[in-house]
Amino acid sequence: MSATPASLPAHWKKFLFAGLAALAVVWFFAFQGATHGDHRGPLSVILGALFWVATLIGLLMLTMITRVFDAGWAPVIRRTWELALPALPIVLLLSVVPMALIPKFRHLLWEWTNAEHLLPSGHAVGHDPILQAKSWFLNESFFLARIAYYVVFFAVLVWALRRGSFAQDTDRTAGHTHRLHAISAAGIPLAAVSLTMLAFDCLMALSYHWFSTMYGVWFFALSIRLALAFTVIATYRLSNGGWLDGILNQAHRHVLGCLMLAFTVFWAYISFSQYFLIYTANIPEETYWYNIREFDPVTGARNQWWGVSMYLIFGFFLLPFLSLLFYRTKIVAGRLLAVASIIFVGGLVDLWFNAVPRQINAAGAPEGFVVSPFLTAYLAVDVLAVLGFGALVVAVLLRAAGRHETIPVHDPRILESINYHE
């Protein structure tokens, strides 16, 4: 066993079994939905998984960014990120990979993979000129190859970043810090391209007519926001009876709070500019994506998604933004935890907003389709999926915490990090 002061790591199996049980229920609903030709069941798996894929990609990017900038505050917190990172390929393997591999699910979720699928216009997907023009990218074999690439790429990157960091605990050489600096410098642009493609494939391609070149940047902004919120929540718990007890101080909270404020603004900037350009250019191919998220195509009356968009503006941007402007919010542990929780919940709402609305064929409807509603019983399955994959992430984190040092004891900057001050 490790020298961890608390007994937290011993609980990893409980989280593993709880997570697997929750995911069994989620997968059951996915099968049930798919049998009835309903894409919403399988979508719950994608939503729950993408929530944690985004969080873990955010942690991965923060790990590499703090390496490249030699951030003095980071080492004690970064080790907790490194402990959680192996969950990234695991979550992908339990969600996106089977969804893409099994034709039944693939055809329901990614309509463009099913050439016989009929569009609201009455034409088959296979004869859609928009899809034909994109088919060099959106074809099944390239799609499956990309999904495989994400798993391999992120697994290798996580392995390389962890290996050097853990090796330093035993051999005490500073050379690892230099090598990890170089790995991170190369890893950041590669991971940026990979996470962009992953966002294209897993989220944007759910409505394949629509496209936005900002989408990867939006996903990155969301990832970092979720990762910082996760960090604040996790370090709050770990500094109250965990391995960061007596280590985490006010200045660490302050720097996390400042980063949360910065990426709240960045997320709003990216999300708004995407909306703003589409609004200004007013091209039907792009505007329909926002239209179905605002009003009924026939009557023009606001639909449920209008309320969701308003929540994103006021609950996911304005509330965290205004709270985090105040210094006290960034240093008082309870307040920072509250803001991080708001951001964590808002991240799921943002994923709902991006992934769920789609045009569903309806024979009687004037336009030939209805927009999938926000309020359905599947919201509970989505939440269960988030909790299930979350329990897996925590299980991975705790298991790793029992096998490795929980702070990088021989990192050259460890003293600077422990004594970090504003």
Binding site for other proteins (CB under 8 A): 272, 276, 279-280, 282, 325, 327, 421
Of 14 and 421, CB closest to other proteins: 421
* Minimum CB–partner distance for residue 212 and other proteins (Å): 17
* Minimum CB–partner distance for residue 135 and other proteins (Å): 33
From CA 25, how far away is CA 84, in angstroms rounded?
24
* Minimum CB–partner distance for residue 279 and other proteins (Å): 6
Of 141 and 282, CB closest to other proteins: 282
Beta bridge partners of 118: 124
Of 182 and 325, CB closest to other proteins: 325
* Minimum CB–partner distance for residue 323 and other proteins (Å): 13
Closest CA to 411 of 182, 59, 80, 176: 176
* Minimum CB–partner distance for residue 78 and other proteins (Å): 22
* Minimum CB–partner distance for residue 247 and other proteins (Å): 18
337 Cβ contact list (under 8 Å, min separation 6) = 232, 233, 236
Of 107 and 413, CB closest to other proteins: 413
Of 159 and 276, CB closest to other proteins: 276
Closest CA to 230 of 65, 400, 420, 85: 85
From CA 421, how far away is CA 407, in angstroms rounded?
18
Cα angle for residues 215, 150, 131 (degrees, 5° grid): 55
* Minimum CB–partner distance for residue 301 and other proteins (Å): 19
Of 141 and 280, CB closest to other proteins: 280
Of 284 and 364, CB closest to other proteins: 284
Of 280 and 299, CB closest to other proteins: 280
Of 139 and 287, CB closest to other proteins: 287
* Minimum CB–partner distance for residue 60 and other proteins (Å): 30
Residue 106 and residue 100 in contact, taking contact as beta carbons nearer than 8 Å: yes
Of 214 and 360, CB closest to other proteins: 214
* Minimum CB–partner distance for residue 421 and other proteins (Å): 6
Q: For strand 359-361 and strand 369-371, is the pairing parallel, antiparallel, or unpaired? A: antiparallel
From CA 405, how far away is CA 398, in angstroms rounded?
12
Tokens of 422: 């504003």
